[in-house]
Protein backbone atom coordinates (compact mmCIF):
# COMPACT_ATOMS: atom_id res chain seq x y z
CA UNK A 1 0.00 0.00 0.00
CA UNK A 2 2.87 2.35 0.80
CA UNK A 3 4.45 1.64 -2.60
CA UNK A 4 1.17 2.42 -4.35
CA UNK A 5 0.84 5.66 -2.39
CA UNK A 6 4.36 6.68 -3.41
CA UNK A 7 3.54 5.93 -7.05
CA UNK A 8 0.37 8.01 -6.91
CA UNK A 9 2.28 10.86 -5.25
CA UNK A 10 4.96 10.75 -7.95
CA UNK A 11 2.25 10.56 -10.60
CA UNK A 12 0.34 13.62 -9.41
CA UNK A 13 3.39 15.79 -8.70
CA UNK A 14 5.06 14.73 -11.97
CA UNK A 15 1.90 15.62 -13.86
CA UNK A 16 1.83 19.08 -12.30
CA UNK A 17 5.47 19.69 -13.23
CA UNK A 18 4.84 18.53 -16.80
CA UNK A 19 1.77 20.74 -17.19
CA UNK A 20 3.70 23.76 -15.92
CA UNK A 21 6.65 23.07 -18.25
CA UNK A 22 4.36 22.65 -21.26
CA UNK A 23 2.44 25.81 -20.34
CA UNK A 24 5.63 27.82 -19.96
CA UNK A 25 7.63 26.50 -22.91
CA UNK A 26 5.16 25.69 -25.68
CA UNK A 27 5.40 28.37 -28.40
CA UNK A 28 2.77 31.07 -28.68
CA UNK A 29 0.93 32.55 -31.63
CA UNK A 30 2.78 35.61 -32.94
CA UNK A 31 1.31 39.02 -33.75
CA UNK A 32 4.32 40.42 -35.64
CA UNK A 33 3.51 42.44 -38.76
CA UNK A 34 3.54 40.12 -41.76
CA UNK A 35 6.24 40.61 -44.38
CA UNK A 36 4.12 39.02 -47.09
CA UNK A 37 0.49 38.06 -47.65
CA UNK A 38 0.54 34.69 -49.45
CA UNK A 39 -2.80 33.52 -50.76
CA UNK A 40 -4.57 31.28 -48.24
CA UNK A 41 -7.06 28.63 -49.29
CA UNK A 42 -9.53 28.00 -46.46
CA UNK A 43 -10.68 24.41 -47.03
CA UNK A 44 -13.82 23.21 -45.23
CA UNK A 45 -15.18 19.66 -45.58
CA UNK A 46 -18.85 19.54 -44.62
CA UNK A 47 -21.21 16.61 -44.12
CA UNK A 48 -24.56 17.43 -42.49
CA UNK A 49 -23.24 20.75 -41.17
CA UNK A 50 -26.05 23.19 -42.01
CA UNK A 51 -26.25 24.71 -38.53
CA UNK A 52 -22.49 25.19 -38.19
CA UNK A 53 -22.09 26.59 -41.69
CA UNK A 54 -24.85 29.17 -41.28
CA UNK A 55 -23.07 30.44 -38.17
CA UNK A 56 -19.45 30.23 -39.33
CA UNK A 57 -19.27 31.16 -43.01
CA UNK A 58 -20.15 34.81 -42.23
CA UNK A 59 -17.24 34.82 -39.76
CA UNK A 60 -14.88 33.57 -42.45
CA UNK A 61 -16.10 36.26 -44.82
CA UNK A 62 -15.18 39.02 -42.35
CA UNK A 63 -11.52 38.01 -41.92
CA UNK A 64 -9.08 40.94 -41.87
CA UNK A 65 -6.56 39.09 -44.07
CA UNK A 66 -6.38 40.57 -47.59
CA UNK A 67 -5.66 37.50 -49.72
CA UNK A 68 -7.72 34.35 -49.25
CA UNK A 69 -10.36 32.11 -50.80
CA UNK A 70 -12.95 29.87 -49.17
CA UNK A 71 -13.76 26.42 -50.58
CA UNK A 72 -16.45 24.27 -48.98
CA UNK A 73 -17.08 20.69 -50.04
CA UNK A 74 -20.57 19.32 -49.51
CA UNK A 75 -19.78 15.69 -48.70
CA UNK A 76 -23.08 14.15 -49.83
CA UNK A 77 -24.97 15.75 -46.95
CA UNK A 78 -28.48 14.62 -46.06
CA UNK A 79 -29.59 17.83 -44.34
CA UNK A 80 -29.88 21.40 -45.67
CA UNK A 81 -26.11 21.89 -45.99
CA UNK A 82 -26.32 22.53 -49.74
CA UNK A 83 -29.13 25.06 -49.32
CA UNK A 84 -27.04 27.00 -46.78
CA UNK A 85 -24.01 26.88 -49.05
CA UNK A 86 -25.96 28.14 -52.05
CA UNK A 87 -26.93 31.24 -50.08
CA UNK A 88 -23.21 32.16 -50.07
CA UNK A 89 -22.55 31.08 -53.67
CA UNK A 90 -21.30 34.50 -54.77
CA UNK A 91 -18.70 34.67 -51.98
CA UNK A 92 -17.32 31.16 -51.69
CA UNK A 93 -16.49 28.22 -53.93
CA UNK A 94 -18.90 25.32 -53.45
CA UNK A 95 -17.86 21.78 -54.35
CA UNK A 96 -20.03 18.69 -54.48
CA UNK A 97 -18.18 15.69 -53.12
CA UNK A 98 -17.60 12.62 -55.26
CA UNK A 99 -18.62 9.15 -54.00
CA UNK A 100 -16.33 7.75 -51.32
CA UNK A 101 -13.78 5.23 -52.71
CA UNK A 102 -13.40 1.96 -50.83
CA UNK A 103 -9.89 2.68 -49.57
CA UNK A 104 -10.64 6.14 -48.12
CA UNK A 105 -12.31 7.50 -45.00
CA UNK A 106 -14.79 10.31 -45.52
CA UNK A 107 -13.02 13.38 -44.15
CA UNK A 108 -9.69 12.43 -45.72
CA UNK A 109 -11.35 12.02 -49.11
CA UNK A 110 -13.13 15.36 -48.76
CA UNK A 111 -9.89 17.16 -47.81
CA UNK A 112 -8.08 15.55 -50.74
CA UNK A 113 -10.72 16.83 -53.17
CA UNK A 114 -10.50 20.31 -51.65
CA UNK A 115 -6.71 20.36 -51.99
CA UNK A 116 -6.97 19.54 -55.69
CA UNK A 117 -9.22 22.55 -56.30
CA UNK A 118 -7.34 25.04 -54.09
CA UNK A 119 -5.28 27.79 -55.71
CA UNK A 120 -3.58 29.24 -52.63
CA UNK A 121 0.05 29.19 -51.51
CA UNK A 122 -1.14 27.96 -48.10
CA UNK A 123 -3.77 25.31 -47.47
CA UNK A 124 -5.73 25.89 -44.25
CA UNK A 125 -7.91 22.88 -43.43
CA UNK A 126 -10.60 23.63 -40.86
CA UNK A 127 -13.70 21.83 -39.63
CA UNK A 128 -17.15 23.23 -40.35
CA UNK A 129 -17.82 23.67 -36.62
CA UNK A 130 -14.94 26.14 -36.18
CA UNK A 131 -15.91 29.77 -35.47
CA UNK A 132 -12.86 31.92 -36.34
CA UNK A 133 -11.90 35.22 -34.76
CA UNK A 134 -11.52 38.11 -37.19
CA UNK A 135 -7.70 37.95 -37.14
CA UNK A 136 -7.48 34.15 -37.32
CA UNK A 137 -5.96 33.85 -40.80
CA UNK A 138 -3.62 36.80 -40.23
CA UNK A 139 -2.30 35.38 -36.97
CA UNK A 140 -1.80 31.96 -38.56
CA UNK A 141 0.24 33.39 -41.45
CA UNK A 142 2.30 35.59 -39.12
CA UNK A 143 3.04 32.64 -36.84
CA UNK A 144 4.17 30.46 -39.74
CA UNK A 145 6.45 33.25 -40.88
CA UNK A 146 7.82 34.11 -37.43
CA UNK A 147 8.84 30.52 -36.64
CA UNK A 148 9.95 29.71 -40.21
CA UNK A 149 7.52 26.78 -40.39
CA UNK A 150 6.22 24.79 -43.34
CA UNK A 151 3.14 23.68 -41.39
CA UNK A 152 1.35 24.22 -38.09
CA UNK A 153 -1.78 23.05 -36.34
CA UNK A 154 -3.67 24.75 -33.56
CA UNK A 155 -5.61 23.45 -30.58
CA UNK A 156 -8.52 25.82 -30.16
CA UNK A 157 -10.96 26.97 -27.53
CA UNK A 158 -13.96 24.67 -27.09
CA UNK A 159 -17.60 25.65 -26.75
CA UNK A 160 -19.36 23.73 -23.98
CA UNK A 161 -23.01 23.74 -25.00
CA UNK A 162 -24.25 21.09 -22.57
CA UNK A 163 -23.21 19.44 -19.31
CA UNK A 164 -21.67 16.34 -20.93
CA UNK A 165 -19.33 18.37 -23.12
CA UNK A 166 -18.34 20.53 -20.16
CA UNK A 167 -17.54 17.39 -18.15
CA UNK A 168 -15.76 15.33 -20.81
CA UNK A 169 -14.11 17.50 -23.49
CA UNK A 170 -11.55 19.11 -21.14
CA UNK A 171 -10.36 15.63 -20.11
CA UNK A 172 -10.57 14.00 -23.52
CA UNK A 173 -9.03 16.74 -25.68
CA UNK A 174 -7.34 19.41 -23.60
CA UNK A 175 -5.82 18.06 -20.39
CA UNK A 176 -3.94 15.16 -22.09
CA UNK A 177 -2.20 17.62 -24.44
CA UNK A 178 -0.42 19.25 -21.51
CA UNK A 179 -0.27 16.29 -19.11
CA UNK A 180 0.54 13.38 -21.43
CA UNK A 181 4.11 14.10 -22.58
CA UNK A 182 6.85 16.78 -22.70
CA UNK A 183 5.54 18.33 -25.89
CA UNK A 184 7.62 21.46 -25.31
CA UNK A 185 10.63 19.39 -26.40
CA UNK A 186 9.29 19.50 -29.97
CA UNK A 187 10.32 23.14 -29.98
CA UNK A 188 13.95 22.08 -29.74
CA UNK A 189 14.02 18.50 -31.08
CA UNK A 190 12.13 16.50 -33.70
CA UNK A 191 10.54 13.56 -31.86
CA UNK A 192 7.97 11.93 -34.15
CA UNK A 193 6.70 9.94 -31.15
CA UNK A 194 5.58 13.23 -29.60
CA UNK A 195 4.08 14.67 -32.79
CA UNK A 196 0.49 15.78 -32.36
CA UNK A 197 -1.86 17.63 -34.66
CA UNK A 198 -5.41 18.94 -34.74
CA UNK A 199 -7.45 18.60 -37.91
CA UNK A 200 -9.78 21.35 -36.72
CA UNK A 201 -7.04 23.83 -37.71
CA UNK A 202 -4.14 22.53 -39.82
CA UNK A 203 -2.21 24.69 -42.29
CA UNK A 204 0.44 23.66 -44.82
CA UNK A 205 2.56 25.38 -47.40
CA UNK A 206 1.24 24.01 -50.68
CA UNK A 207 4.57 22.52 -51.74
CA UNK A 208 5.04 20.90 -48.32
CA UNK A 209 1.57 19.36 -48.49
CA UNK A 210 2.14 17.96 -51.96
CA UNK A 211 5.64 16.67 -51.17
CA UNK A 212 4.48 14.75 -48.10
CA UNK A 213 1.60 13.16 -50.00
CA UNK A 214 -1.23 15.18 -48.45
CA UNK A 215 -4.32 13.43 -47.19
CA UNK A 216 -3.78 10.67 -49.72
CA UNK A 217 -0.84 9.50 -47.59
CA UNK A 218 -3.18 9.02 -44.59
CA UNK A 219 -6.36 8.16 -46.49
CA UNK A 220 -7.39 5.28 -44.20
CA UNK A 221 -6.42 6.91 -40.90
CA UNK A 222 -9.25 7.61 -38.45
CA UNK A 223 -7.16 10.21 -36.61
CA UNK A 224 -5.72 11.76 -39.74
CA UNK A 225 -4.40 14.85 -37.96
CA UNK A 226 -2.08 12.82 -35.71
CA UNK A 227 -0.95 10.81 -38.74
CA UNK A 228 -0.21 13.99 -40.69
CA UNK A 229 1.80 15.43 -37.79
CA UNK A 230 3.93 12.29 -37.52
CA UNK A 231 4.41 12.27 -41.29
CA UNK A 232 5.61 15.87 -41.26
CA UNK A 233 8.23 15.03 -38.63
CA UNK A 234 9.27 11.85 -40.44
CA UNK A 235 9.69 13.73 -43.73
CA UNK A 236 11.78 16.42 -42.03
CA UNK A 237 9.44 19.40 -42.53
CA UNK A 238 9.46 22.21 -39.98
CA UNK A 239 6.16 21.76 -38.16
CA UNK A 240 4.84 22.89 -34.79
CA UNK A 241 1.56 22.43 -32.89
CA UNK A 242 0.23 25.41 -30.95
CA UNK A 243 -2.31 25.94 -28.22
CA UNK A 244 -4.13 28.87 -29.76
CA UNK A 245 -7.55 29.66 -28.28
CA UNK A 246 -7.22 33.19 -29.65
CA UNK A 247 -7.72 31.89 -33.19
CA UNK A 248 -11.15 30.28 -32.98
CA UNK A 249 -13.79 28.45 -30.95
CA UNK A 250 -14.98 24.94 -31.83
CA UNK A 251 -18.56 23.71 -31.38
CA UNK A 252 -17.79 19.99 -31.46
CA UNK A 253 -20.88 18.12 -30.28
CA UNK A 254 -24.42 19.43 -30.17
CA UNK A 255 -25.67 17.04 -27.46
CA UNK A 256 -24.72 14.04 -25.30
CA UNK A 257 -25.64 11.53 -28.02
CA UNK A 258 -23.43 13.30 -30.55
CA UNK A 259 -20.57 13.44 -28.04
CA UNK A 260 -20.87 9.72 -27.29
CA UNK A 261 -20.75 8.82 -30.98
CA UNK A 262 -17.83 11.17 -31.66
CA UNK A 263 -15.68 10.01 -28.76
CA UNK A 264 -16.46 6.37 -29.44
CA UNK A 265 -14.94 7.00 -32.87
CA UNK A 266 -11.90 8.94 -31.66
CA UNK A 267 -10.66 7.96 -28.22
CA UNK A 268 -9.20 4.54 -28.95
CA UNK A 269 -7.29 5.94 -31.95
CA UNK A 270 -5.83 9.11 -30.42
CA UNK A 271 -2.46 7.70 -29.36
CA UNK A 272 -2.21 5.10 -32.11
CA UNK A 273 -3.93 2.06 -33.54
CA UNK A 274 -2.39 -0.54 -31.20
CA UNK A 275 -3.45 -1.67 -27.73
CA UNK A 276 0.05 -0.89 -26.42
CA UNK A 277 -0.17 2.74 -27.50
CA UNK A 278 -3.64 3.12 -26.00
CA UNK A 279 -2.39 1.64 -22.73
CA UNK A 280 -0.81 4.99 -21.87
CA UNK A 281 -4.15 6.79 -22.20
CA UNK A 282 -5.73 4.15 -19.97
CA UNK A 283 -2.99 4.53 -17.33
CA UNK A 284 -3.38 8.31 -17.42
CA UNK A 285 -7.02 8.08 -16.37
CA UNK A 286 -6.66 5.16 -13.98
CA UNK A 287 -3.96 7.21 -12.26
CA UNK A 288 -6.33 10.17 -12.05
CA UNK A 289 -8.89 7.98 -10.31
CA UNK A 290 -6.17 6.66 -8.00
CA UNK A 291 -5.43 10.16 -6.73
CA UNK A 292 -8.89 10.17 -5.11
CA UNK A 293 -7.98 7.28 -2.83
CA UNK A 294 -5.01 8.53 -0.81
CA UNK A 295 -4.19 11.18 1.80
CA UNK A 296 -7.74 12.51 2.00
CA UNK A 297 -7.60 13.59 -1.62
CA UNK A 298 -4.47 15.77 -1.35
CA UNK A 299 -3.02 14.15 -4.48
CA UNK A 300 -6.25 14.81 -6.32
CA UNK A 301 -6.01 18.48 -5.33
CA UNK A 302 -2.62 18.55 -7.05
CA UNK A 303 -4.22 17.03 -10.16
CA UNK A 304 -7.03 19.59 -9.89
CA UNK A 305 -4.43 22.37 -9.94
CA UNK A 306 -2.92 20.81 -13.08
CA UNK A 307 -6.37 20.65 -14.65
CA UNK A 308 -7.12 24.32 -14.03
CA UNK A 309 -3.72 25.37 -15.38
CA UNK A 310 -4.69 23.51 -18.54
CA UNK A 311 -8.08 25.23 -18.59
CA UNK A 312 -6.40 28.62 -18.15
CA UNK A 313 -4.07 27.79 -21.06
CA UNK A 314 -7.05 27.10 -23.31
CA UNK A 315 -8.89 30.16 -21.95
CA UNK A 316 -11.80 27.99 -20.83
CA UNK A 317 -14.06 29.18 -18.06
CA UNK A 318 -16.76 27.89 -15.73
CA UNK A 319 -15.79 24.22 -15.46
CA UNK A 320 -17.04 23.43 -11.96
CA UNK A 321 -14.83 21.31 -9.66
CA UNK A 322 -17.94 19.20 -9.05
CA UNK A 323 -17.80 18.04 -12.68
CA UNK A 324 -14.11 17.06 -12.52
CA UNK A 325 -14.37 13.54 -10.98
CA UNK A 326 -17.49 12.90 -13.04
CA UNK A 327 -15.63 13.92 -16.20
CA UNK A 328 -12.74 11.55 -15.43
CA UNK A 329 -15.12 8.60 -14.97
CA UNK A 330 -17.07 9.45 -18.13
CA UNK A 331 -13.95 9.87 -20.25
CA UNK A 332 -12.55 6.53 -19.08
CA UNK A 333 -15.91 4.88 -19.77
CA UNK A 334 -16.04 6.33 -23.30
CA UNK A 335 -12.44 5.26 -23.91
CA UNK A 336 -13.27 1.65 -22.98
CA UNK A 337 -16.44 1.89 -25.10
CA UNK A 338 -14.32 3.06 -28.03
CA UNK A 339 -11.88 0.16 -27.58
CA UNK A 340 -14.78 -2.30 -27.57
CA UNK A 341 -16.40 -0.77 -30.65
CA UNK A 342 -13.07 -0.80 -32.49
CA UNK A 343 -12.54 -4.48 -31.69
CA UNK A 344 -16.07 -5.32 -32.85
CA UNK A 345 -15.76 -3.02 -35.90
CA UNK A 346 -18.97 -1.20 -35.04
CA UNK A 347 -17.66 2.39 -35.12
CA UNK A 348 -19.56 4.84 -37.31
CA UNK A 349 -19.69 8.60 -37.81
CA UNK A 350 -22.32 10.65 -39.63
CA UNK A 351 -23.91 7.59 -41.11
CA UNK A 352 -20.71 5.98 -42.38
CA UNK A 353 -19.10 2.84 -40.97
CA UNK A 354 -15.45 3.14 -39.93
CA UNK A 355 -13.44 -0.06 -39.87
- Asked if the model's pLDDT at residue 179 lies above 80, the reply is yes
Beta strand residue intervals within the chain, DSSP E = 40-46, 68-74, 93-96, 122-126, 130-132, 151-155, 157-158, 201-205, 239-243, 248-250, 347-349, 352-354
**Which residues make up the CATH 3.90.550.10 domain(s) of the chain?**
40-254
CATH value of 40-254 in 3.40.190.10, 2.30.40.10, 3.40.50.300, 3.90.550.10: 3.90.550.10
pTM above 0.75, yes or no: yes
Residue 71: per-residue pLDDT: 98
Residue 333: partners with Cβ closer than 8 Å, 6 or more residues away: none
Report pLDDT digits (tens) over 30-82: 888 778 899 999 999 999 999 999 999 999 999 999 999 999 999 999 999 99
The percent of residues in the chain predicted with pLDDT above 90, rounded, is 54
- Asked if the model's pLDDT at residue 207 lies above 70, the reply is yes
Q: What is the Cα gyration radius of the chain?
A: 20
Report pLDDT digits (tens) over 234-261: 999 999 999 999 999 999 888 888 888 8
Residue 273: per-residue pLDDT: 57
Residue 309: per-residue pLDDT: 92
Report pLDDT digits (tens) over 191-200: 777 888 999 9
Reported confidence tier of residue 323, pLDDT bands at 50, 70, 90: confident
Reported confidence tier of residue 344, pLDDT bands at 50, 70, 90: confident
122-126 β-sheet, strand order: 93-96, 68-74, 40-46, 122-126, 201-205, 151-155, 239-243
Task: Please name which of 259, 148, 253, 244 lies closest in space to residue 197, comparing C-alpha atoms.
Answer: 244
The percent of residues in the chain predicted with pLDDT above 70, rounded, is 91
Report pLDDT digits (tens) over 273-300: 555 556 666 666 666 666 665 555 777 7
Q: Helix, strand, or coil here: 254? A: coil
Residue 129: partners with Cβ closer than 8 Å, 6 or more residues away: 49, 52, 56, 200, 250, 251, 252
- Mean predicted confidence (pLDDT) in 3-13: 77
Residue 22: per-residue pLDDT: 92
Residue 201 and residue 244 in contact, taking contact as beta carbons nearer than 8 Å: yes
C-alpha to C-alpha distance for 247 and 135, rounded to whole angstroms: 7
Amino acid sequence: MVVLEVLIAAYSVGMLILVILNYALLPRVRRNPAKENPKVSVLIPARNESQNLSRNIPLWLTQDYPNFEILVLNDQSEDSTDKILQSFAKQITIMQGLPLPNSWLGKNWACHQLSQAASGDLFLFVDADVSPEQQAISLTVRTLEAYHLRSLSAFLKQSFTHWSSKAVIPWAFQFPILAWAPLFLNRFFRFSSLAIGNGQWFVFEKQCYLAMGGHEAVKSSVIEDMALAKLLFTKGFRYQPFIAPELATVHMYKDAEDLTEGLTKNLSFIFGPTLFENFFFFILFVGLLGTLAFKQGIFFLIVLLSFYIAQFTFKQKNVSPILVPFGIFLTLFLFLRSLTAKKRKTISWKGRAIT
